[in-house]
Amino acid sequence: MTVNGVVMTATPHPHTSETWPIAVCMHGFAPVLPDGTRLHDAPVEEWDRVFRQVARLGFTAVEIADSHIRPSELTPQRRQELKTVASENGVQLISVHVQRQSVIQPGKGEENLAYAHRAIDAAAELGMTVFSTGLHQPFTEAQRKALWFWTARGPVDPDDAETRALAVRRLRELGEHAASVGLPMSLEMYEDTYLGTADSAVRLVQEIGLDNVGLNPDIGNLIRLHRPIEDWREMHEKTLPYANYWHVKNYIRDEAGDGSWQTAVPTSLELGLINYRDMVARAIELGFRGPFLMEQYGGDSLGVCATNRDYLRTLLPESAQA
């Protein structure tokens, strides 16, 4: 494989199909409890309930989304409680995902940058293996009202060299911090950001220029859009060489031959537009060795994630290579 003109040699598989790290997202849990208490502020008994459900479905790892719990904003005692209750249920806190806190968000970029730095330190303290973030911003009112938020337009990163350069500088700063505490940093692909197309996402990682900074090639975020999209095969081919963490989900997509309409709804990994059998094989061929994160919107998110995990394991290598 050649990246930036350098011939790369794929590293051996560090895991078998049964041991490859596969985490579950927190979409299946409400961020606010029925009594109005945020999950972030909930007593440890509520956290225990979350991790017991995760473990009961056979998951041994979870991604902590900051929409639900912000590890950096917990007291040291509460962070230890979070780690302990997860461990008691046999669940690893594999990553923290800082979402909708863009470092170039107008009026909040510097504040979000400082928050991301705290999140990196908290992730290291908790023994996580990935720091995950991106450039997507908070939902617009239209997105909050929509049945599926991706059917309404959200904020758009400006086509402006100065703003893009600012994104590069701030993300490089975070990447250097992550490297200093032994963490890879993964940037999630997301529409209408500098990570919104394959070419722009790859160029952003190249501009950042750090070995520990790679892509989360969450192409599911893009094939669900009700607008024309890039070919999913081409997007994967361009981005997979830079992947170090992978949110995987799938959608049934349909569109008119004349391009007059497009639609998409969530489905399982096996049934959707993306052929994950081919894409996982290609990713491993290109050297992907990072964790997977099962993600699902709608319905029984946790149940579908468990089904998807079992399917994914059939696509992974049966034995580790020396």
What gap in Å lies between CA 32 and CA 310, rounded to an integer?
A: 29
User: What confidence score (pLDDT) does residue 4 get?
Assistant: 43
What gap in Å lies between CA 33 and CA 50, rounded to an integer?
A: 12
Q: Does residue 107 lie within any of the structural domains?
A: yes
What gap in Å lies between CA 318 and CA 280, rounded to an integer?
A: 13
Q: Does residue 216 lie within any of the structural domains?
A: yes
pLDDT digits (tens, 9 = 90+) for 266-287: 999 999 999 999 999 999 999 9
User: What confidence score (pLDDT) does residue 10 get?
Assistant: 53
Polymer length in residues for the chain? 322
Q: Does residue 318 lie within any of the structural domains?
A: no
What gap in Å lies between CA 240 and CA 221, rounded to an integer?
A: 15
pLDDT digits (tens, 9 = 90+) for 282-305: 999 999 999 999 999 999 999 999
Q: How many domains does the chain have?
A: 1
Q: Does residue 1 lie within any of the structural domains?
A: no
Q: Does residue 220 lie within any of the structural domains?
A: yes
Q: Does residue 90 lie within any of the structural domains?
A: yes
What gap in Å lies between CA 148 and CA 170, rounded to an integer?
A: 31
Q: Does residue 6 lie within any of the structural domains?
A: no
Q: Considering the entire predicted model, what is its pTM?
A: 0.94
Residue numbers of the domain that contains 304? 19-260+269-313
User: What confidence score (pLDDT) does residue 320 get?
Assistant: 61
DSSP string, 25-88: -STTS-SB-TTS-BGGGS-HHHHHHHHHHHHHTT--EEEEETTT--GGGS-HHHHHHHHHHHHH
Q: Does residue 8 lie within any of the structural domains?
A: no
User: What confidence score (pLDDT) does residue 32 get?
Assistant: 97
Low-confidence residues of the chain: pLDDT under 50: 1-9, 322
User: What confidence score (pLDDT) does residue 5 get?
Assistant: 40
CATH code of the domain in which 199 resides = 3.20.20.150
Alpha helix segments (H runs only) across the chain: 44-56, 76-88, 109-125, 141-145, 161-180, 198-208, 220-223, 232-239, 276-285, 301-313
Contact 44, 88 (CB under 8 A): no
